[in-house]
Amino acid sequence: MSTLADTRAIVTGAAGGIGAALAAELISRSATVVLADLSETVTDTAAELGTGAHSWVGDVSAVAGIDELIAFADDRLGGVDMYFANAGIIGPPDLGSSDADWDTVIDVNLRAHIRAAQALIPRWKEAGAGHFVATASAAGLLTQIGSAAYSVTKHASVGFAEWLSLTYRDDGIRASVICPMGVDTDLLRAAGSSGPAQSAVTEAGTVLTPAAVATIALDAVEAEQFLILPHPEVLDMYRMKGSDYDRWLKGMSRFQNRLNEQNRLNEETTHAGND
């Protein structure tokens, strides 16, 4: 029997993609789950999963939303043993054009994690157990060509989960962070169908299905593993970065220039075809 049997979990960003896949895999391992999302389609996703799945619609980046979500989980599940901070957005391209651009992505990709932890850690300390799982990205270990906000917030997400892991380990609390490269989700498509941000991901390695990521992630969660890499090659890239930072930066700059040139040529071809 899975060690996740009878676990009570919240998964955010669960209307589709990795979130829905995590919820499905949790239920297959006999956990009960609240699927949370801004989109009302999360109710359909939960209904398809059947018994053990409950849906909640709201903003998981706001303090009030998180409080309501946890209260809902307490009512439906009887408590929260695991929190999967999975909701995320790609954010503005390049540097963005305003503080508002950055505020939104910081709220969703980082502050949502902080606010959920602030609500849950005290009760988990009292219980002597709990597990916080953040969906970050390989961009949190490497970088994201084409989007400063996404890269910065995913780095911060990794750093926050790391801090949780070392700070509360002796209280029985665990933290994990999932850092995939390409996954076939709406988030990947939101990076732009032919832009350098998406090309940087799709050219770096295999694009995995959400279900494959969920299986790998929950196997690692059961093993209480902190750093979860659905694409194992990310570890080699991370080691290369750390071994010679300047060389890595120069190589990434060349890679970005190649992608930009490729994107320019694609746009010229498309425009010529439309003439």
AA identity, residue 93:
P
Distance between CA atoms of residues 77 and 80, nearest Å: 7
Residue 151 annotated in active site: no
Q: How far apart are CA 22 and CA 31, in angstroms?
A: 11
Q: Which of 150, 151, 165, 199 is catalytic?
A: 150
Nearest by Cα to 129 from 173, 79, 74: 173
Residues 141, 119: Cα–Cα separation, whole Å: 27
Q: Which of 195, 168, 185, 205 is nearest to 256 (CA)?
A: 195
**Amino acid at position 154, single letter:** K
Q: Please identify which of the residues 55, 154, 165, 176 carries the catalytic annotation.
A: 154
Q: Are 19 and 186 in contact (CB under 8 A)?
A: no
Tell me, yes or no, if 176 is annotated catalytic.
no
Q: Looking at 137, 151, 176, 199, which residue is catalytic?
A: 137
Q: Would you call 150 a catalytic residue per the annotation?
A: yes
131: which strand partners?
82, 174
Catalytic residue positions?
137, 150, 154
